Structure formats: C-alpha cells, structure tokens
Amino acid sequence: MDDTSTPPRPADPDAASAALPATGPAVPSVQAVALKGLCPRCGAGTLFDGPIRFAPSCRACGLDIAGFDVGDGPAAFLTLILGALVVGLAIWLELALSPPHWVHLIWIPVTIGGVIGSLRLAKGALIALEYRNAAREWAAPPSAERAAIPQDDARS
C-alpha cells in the first residue's frame, strides 16, 4: 500500500495487533530494570551476576553491561540514607522499648539486607537511565583538541 495518509482505524483490535510488524521485545521500564534486575535493552533477567555485581554482558542480547559505569554514587548516597535510617530506628527502639542489648544485633542483618537491596535498586535504575539516555563515561579529548578548548585563565 503506497498511501501514506492516515491509515483507517481497524474495527477489530486483535486484527490490528496481529498486523503490527515484529519489532522484538519492548524496552523495559526503569522501574522494571531496577526492581527485577532486567537487561535494559532486551528485558531478560541477566543484569546481575551476583548480589550487587553487574554481569559483564547480557547473556540474552549481548549488551555490554561492563561498558556502563554507575560509579560510587549509589553506594555513597545509600550509605548516608541507610546509616541515618538504621541509627534512627535503633535510637527509637532503645528509647521506646528499652530491650536487652542483644536485641540490637538485629541491626546487622537489617543493614546488610538494606544495603544489598537498595544498591541493586539504585544500580539497576542508574544503568537503565544511562542506557535510555545513551550516557557514557566522559573521555578526555586528544591533546590537540584539548589545546583548542578555551581556558578560564585566558579571560582574566
């Protein structure tokens, strides 16, 4: 059909979806990547190789996951948030219930679980955003290009 005008709306929705060309799996949402550890390109559950370690590449589609670098941002940010949260809860528990001291050992697994869970979420969300926005690490330009970049000192 050479007609490029607006196509007529089909009466049967099932017929419309059957007529769509096969475009492969849809790109998963940022939330799905973060919550389920999905590959940001194909949606397979291949993002992580360990509890918080990324796989080097997706085993389903071959996406180079190691090429992304989410850096230490999630770890530093979550350490501050989780530290404040756990200390606040420990103080609250002590003041409200005055339990025996051994009860405070609960904060060790709570902290470990919180760190692992929140790191997976944060790293998954960041890699999904990096993939969607085609973000890559900044590389210093070659020295010839660097010389052409105006310096702040030259203005004063």
Interaction of residue 38 with Zn ion, rule CB under 5 A: no
Instruction: Kindly identify the residues of this chain, within the stretch 62-91, that bind Zn ion according to CB under 5 A.
Output: 63
Interaction of residue 61 with Zn ion, rule CB under 5 A: yes
CA distances from 75 to 9, 24, 25, 86, 90 (A): 50, 34, 31, 16, 21
Look up residue 41 and give its two tokens: 């390109």
Q: How far is the CB of 73 from Zn ion (least distance, A)?
A: 23
Q: What does the alpha-carbon distance between residue 150 and residue 57 come to, in Å, rounded to a whole number?
A: 39
Interaction of residue 60 with Zn ion, rule CB under 5 A: yes
Q: What does the alpha-carbon distance between residue 57 and residue 108 come to, in Å, rounded to a whole number?
A: 32
Among 33, 34, 39, 78, binds Zn ion (CB under 5 A): 39
Q: How far is the CB of 72 from Zn ion (least distance, A)?
A: 25
Q: How far is the CB of 135 from Zn ion (least distance, A)?
A: 18
Q: Are 35 and 121 in contact (CB under 8 A)?
A: yes
Q: What does the alpha-carbon distance between residue 57 and residue 46 come to, in Å, rounded to a whole number?
A: 8
Q: How far is the CB of 50 from Zn ion (least distance, A)?
A: 18
For Zn ion (CB under 5 A), the number of binding residues is: 8
Q: What does the alpha-carbon distance between residue 126 and residue 110 come to, in Å, rounded to a whole number?
A: 24
Question: Which residue, 43 or 74, has its beta carbon nearer to Zn ion?
Answer: 43
**Binding region for Zn ion (CB under 5 A):** 39, 41-42, 44, 58, 60-61, 63
